[in-house]
Structure 1
Amino acid sequence: SGKVDLQEQNIVDIEELVKLCTRMEEACAGFTRFDFCQILDATENFSEKMIIGWGGFGRVYKGQLPHGLVVGIKRFDHRAMLSDFSNELQLARLRHTNVIRLLGWCIHGEERILVYKFMHNGALDHHIFDRIKGPLLDWSKRLKIIKGLVEGLVYLHKHPMLSIVHRDLKPNNIILECDMTLNISDFGSAKTLSPDVTEEHTCRVVGTSGYIAPEYAPRGVYSLKTDVFSFGILVLETISGRKNTILDNRGDTVGDLVRDAWRMWKDRRLHELVDGSLGHGYDIAEVAMYAQVALLCAQEDPVDRPAMTDVAAMLSSESMSLPTEPKEPSALSEGGAGEDTYINRSSRTIDITITSSATVLTRVRLIIDQEV
């Protein structure tokens, strides 16, 4: 009793969405409805100076409630589908240190708003890719972030009711508290899998270039291994302070960071992978273990990727040697005549274009939203 199963929800209008939110409020302790006037006061009428983040579904504002509680307020824009909002409602029934806490909701006319616990240190990308904040993120803090990400994903993938696939893991969606405790956020793209289902298909592929699993982008196939791939990329980026770039015009499926890291791992040059701002303040044996696990997670074939429970076991082992070696990424092509790359920054909807000038269809390109 009290369980609300979102897997088969077919939300077609605002009225149904209000009813769903009301049922979630009744079923989930600590999840409450906010008055729209409260939201306006907290955000100073959605002032631009209160914006702390944005994405494909809307903007996030910092707000302070009358009793002093600071919160994050997500205002969904007109491009967001009702299902994007209802997907996030899954968070109301989740309780984990490393998953963002959803506190409440507000629907007023066309306004769709969710209220979250506020995380004072912002998103991970503001730290690992920043010249000022990067050096402050020492090796122990980076390990804490990786371990928190592992624990959060194990919780989502092994949830007792339904396994949750995030589908859009990236540094922007990993937010940090003052003590660098990590929270996984932005579940607008999340999907649930029944215990007896290993993978599903979708015609609406969402995500960000550099983090999307090779089987997901072209075929719309997603599974728990989709998140495992993104996790591997996040670990390599956290170690190196580098972004993973997909070389679309050369048939790349995993990214330049994965290729470089694999070569460094093979040649035992992993000290070259480590963010230079760390100096010598790291344990090379730990770097080798975490990098190898990351490369195993970033394998092109999902069958070759470990489950997150296996990742947790490998990283908690006292042994620094791992039983499996990552396979070398596929070789890049030399590119083709008439190929071009276009990234649509205004929409998460996937378009398909033919990018070869040959008379025979040789390649299909997915155009994927990439945030600035």
Structure 2
Amino acid sequence: MSLDTLAAERREPTAHPSTSAKPSLIGMDRAALAAALGAIGVPQRQQKMRSAQLWHWLYLRGAASFDAMSNVGRDLRQALAEHYSILRPEIVSEQISVDGTRKWLFRFPPEGAGRPVEVETVYIPEEGRGTLCVSSQVGCTLTCRFCHTGTQRLVRNLTAGEIVAQIIAARERIGDFPDLATPEGAIVPAEGRLVSNIVMMGMGEPLYNFDNVREALRIASDGEGLSLSKRRITLSTSGVVPEIARTGSEIGCMLAISLHAVRDELRDELVPINKKWPIAELLQACRNYPGLSNARRITFEYVMLKGVNDSLAEARELVRLLKGIPAKINLIPFNPWPGSAYECSDWDQIELFAEVVNRAGYASPIRTPRGRDIFAACGQLKSASERLTRRERETQGLVEAGA
């Protein structure tokens, strides 16, 4: 089999197809789990202990069925199975790049009277770490000119459970949960985890789905469950300025800004949200980010577009704009997609741009493109979910949000 054939391979796994109409426990915090237990008759005096058991099995051990929860009584396991689900999303397809990057197309069941929806999630293995790129919306409202996801209109926000389920399904698929049969499985490993980092850089604008993203990331960072350090969770925003301070105070994760231009007139074109919150307002919100320090720098993402934003004058202006902000600047070679209007900057020009930034004292790594051959690289994600009708979107409160 050739490398091209391997890269394009599409599998049709059927593990844990999410077809249940029962409410899912995945994505519930401890209070919600306690309420769910109370709803099926568990006495209040037992709810704290029982919800702790469920938390352990769902988020630390990765149990895929209630029967696997060995310290939960048979009667309670049966009652849980009758009323609730812990099914994973259906894996519609899995693609594996020649560089080891994996992209999954996950399908979630209808929410209420809606339709099933699909999102893409990407796993990037690297030496000493593994990064999972997670989606927060089906589609996007922002229409950034260089981003493939921006060509797919917003269908709906993902729930906290659907965001967490991407993490659980990916970890299960790559064998990153402990063996349920071994006592050691009850301990969070200090090293060797395949998913060591999460980036909210998949489909959608996370800060237009703030509440669900916040709840999902609180579960992801809980030390008794998925147990990912907040310093290993990065949320990327195109610049929803009013929610940036809340991100620092209520989530406490690392922050990344999709900047991509140093002049408002160009950023208005590349990242249209700039018309609402221009560069000066965005950078002031960054300077005020709670917890900002040299140890908790903001990452500024800058996609390199040939002849558009890659001049050395723009590199110098970038340095000037970021003065006083503890920052790292990720230079991203543009990843092409069918119909895109841009070209990637020449490699020599990217290196000259990086040199200007480096000389000013900022780390400016050039991001190695990963998964380009399966359209899993930055800016290439897009699912085939259909756009909702206006009435369906009004029902879900998306029209008011600017969808």
Same fold (TM over 0.5): no
When normalised by structure 2's length, the TM-score is 0.25
When normalised by structure 1's length, the TM-score is 0.26
